[in-house]
Amino acid sequence: MPYNFQIITLFPERYSSYVESGLPARAYKKDLFRLNTFLLRDFADERRKGRVDDEPYGGGPGMILQVGPVEKALASLPEKFPVVLFTPRGELLNQKKVKQFSKEIGLILIPGYYEGIDERVAENLVDHQVSIGEFVLGSGDLAALCLIESITRLLPGYMGCSDSEVMESNEDGLLEYPQYTRPPEYNGWKVPDILLSGDHEKIRLWREMKRNEITELRKK
Ligand code: ADE
């Protein structure tokens, strides 16, 4: 059964263009996953003519996404899956959480916009709050796409060869070893001799050492 993403968004075209090129396009055409977008504006209060944001109570800059349109959009969805809200205040995403999400049969994604989203969404309507990093995006759509890609690439059949899934960065908490391909020398920049030696045991040990080295360096 294809993995099912239902996304409540102001910008559906961001998702349709995502599945137009590269591996996502191929996997999408193979029906490994489905993306259904629902336009948040369609659930705006009738009197507000498609507007879904308003000023923050208590004052302050920017606009806040209203709870009503989000609640109505959620209620309208044909299928129910765990609901994920994207916000810089969410739990930091990592590969372990991606793997857990990949075991679901689908997810409902809610990217945040503007200065934020009425807290009653987080309090009452969502199962998970996710941040993709300690920085602030202008919208949650790119964060949602990060989660979509990190999940779909784990789906069986996404990559040509299944080994690359197992070996990939972060699966066991260690980062990936460096990789090289032809030519063996370019501009005087050489591929490490050991990789050309054909000694598989030595290569395995070298890779293990490099993974530990780079993990130490990056995770400090
Ligand atoms: N929306 C804005 N910034 C975000 C972040 N870092 N992660 C998830 N959603 C966001």
Taking the domains of the chain in order of start, what are their residue ranges? 3-152, 185-218
Residue for token digits 């050492």?
A: 209
Residues 6+ apart with CB under 8 A from 176: 167, 168, 169, 170, 211, 214
pLDDT band at 167 (very low <50, low <70, confident <90, very high): low
What's the predicted TM-score (pTM) here?
Answer: 0.94
- DSSP notation for 9-30: ES-THHHHHHTTSHHHHHHHHT
CA distance 54 to 109: 22
Q: What is the pLDDT of residues 101-138, one digit of tens each?
A: 999 999 999 999 988 999 999 999 999 999 999 999 99
What atom in ligand 1 is closest to the CA of residue 135?
6
Higher model confidence: residue 151 or residue 169? 151
Please report which residue ranges of 35-118 form alpha helices under DSSP H.
67-76, 95-102
What atom in ligand 1 is closest to the CA of residue 132?
7
CA distance 153 to 24: 8
| pLDDT at res. 114 | 81
Q: What is the pLDDT of residues 58-107, one digit of tens each?
A: 999 999 999 999 999 999 999 999 999 999 999 999 999 999 999 999 99
pLDDT band at 169 (very low <50, low <70, confident <90, very high): low
* C-beta of residue 110 within 8 angstroms of C-beta of residue 82: no
- Is residue 172 pLDDT above 80, yes or no? no
Atom 7, ligand 1: residue with shortest CA distance? 131
- Is residue 170 pLDDT above 80, yes or no? no
Question: How many A from CA of 141 to the centre of ligand 1?
Answer: 9
What atom in ligand 1 is closest to the CA of residue 140?
1
Of 87, 92, 121, 139, best ligand 1 pocket probe by most atoms within 8 Å of the beta carbon: 87
pLDDT band at 171 (very low <50, low <70, confident <90, very high): low
CA distance 212 to 7: 38
Q: Residue 75: exposed, middle, or buried by beta-carbon count in 10 A (0-12, 13-18, 19+)?
A: exposed
Q: Is 129 in the pocket of ligand 1 (CB under 6 A)?
A: no
What does CATH list as the number for 3-152?
3.40.1280.10
Question: Crossing angle for the helix pair 141-152 and 22-29, nearest 10 degrees?
Answer: 60
pLDDT band at 12 (very low <50, low <70, confident <90, very high): very high
